Amino acid sequence: MLKTNDLGYWYDRQENSLFEHVDLEFKSGTSYAIVGQSGSGKTTFLSLLAGLDKPRAGQIELNGQPINKIGLTNYRKSHVAIVFQSYNLFNYMSPLNNLLTAMAVTESSHKGDKAFAADMLRKLGLTDEQMKKNVQKLSGGQQQRVAIARTMCCDAKLVVADEPTGNLDEENTKFVIDQFQKIAHEQNKCVIIVTHESDVAKACDHSYRLAKHEFALES
């Protein structure tokens, strides 16, 4: 589904490239972890896959089409859903309105379907009362559940997550990992997670380690 061809990236004034000649393939129905030391370039790599930044070398293809041909704005709107460590919800809205807004903006096939959004939030453990409150009144674990429900309500086949369990306790971490596995296996999406946590990496179908400017398959 997603392929990197000879991908390379470095920031201005950086002595060495973060990575070069990266040829990886990510399939739908599969979850992947990206691990590596702090500062190795994991978030940067994810931001290229998400179309938030452009590679310095090489290109990324989605189903055989270079993403710059799709157009990065269009790519981000229709093909990628992003989950951040810090949730990135509209903090003046309720969980329900966060989902409905994302569904409208991305023109999801479920656009406007309030019952569908509510059902998704219920599946992720929110009560009917919680889904109507301002998201700021929810705990971190609950906010991350809303962010995950948001990706499930949108049609994007690629889900990328940057340290999605970084702020969560053990119980919420386990729950969130299970949800990502469901997104991959039940919704047939491609899930790519940057993580420092070995439990999260182990739970994914495959794990790549970024070290010495290269990605190596660990499992």
Where do contacts with ligand ATP occur on this chain (CB under 6 A)? 11, 18, 36, 38-44
Q: Cβ 207 to ligand ATP, closest distance in Å?
A: 15
Q: By the 8 A CB rule, do 87 and 37 touch?
A: no
Q: Cβ 67 to ligand ATP, closest distance in Å?
A: 19
* Complex with ligand ATP: residue 72 or 93, whichever CB lies closer: 72
* Complex with ligand ATP: residue 159 or 162, whichever CB lies closer: 162
Q: By the 8 A CB rule, do 49 and 192 touch?
A: yes
Q: Cβ 66 to ligand ATP, closest distance in Å?
A: 22
Return the DSSP state at 212: T
Q: Cβ 160 to ligand ATP, closest distance in Å?
A: 13
Dihedral sign (CA 30, 35, 41, 44): positive
Q: Cβ 52 to ligand ATP, closest distance in Å?
A: 11
Neighbouring residues of 14: CB distance < 8 A, sequence distance ≥ 6: none
* Complex with ligand ATP: residue 31 or 85, whichever CB lies closer: 85
Q: What is the DSSP secondary-structure string of 2-31?
A: EEEEEEEE--TT-SS-SEEEEEEEE-TTEE
Q: By the 8 A CB rule, do 215 and 22 touch?
A: yes
Dihedral sign (CA 81, 198, 3, 210): positive
Q: Cβ 169 to ligand ATP, closest distance in Å?
A: 20
Q: Three-class SS of residue 35?
A: strand
Beta-strand pair 2-9/80-83: unpaired
For tokens 């369990």, the residue is 165
* Complex with ligand ATP: residue 54 or 69, whichever CB lies closer: 54
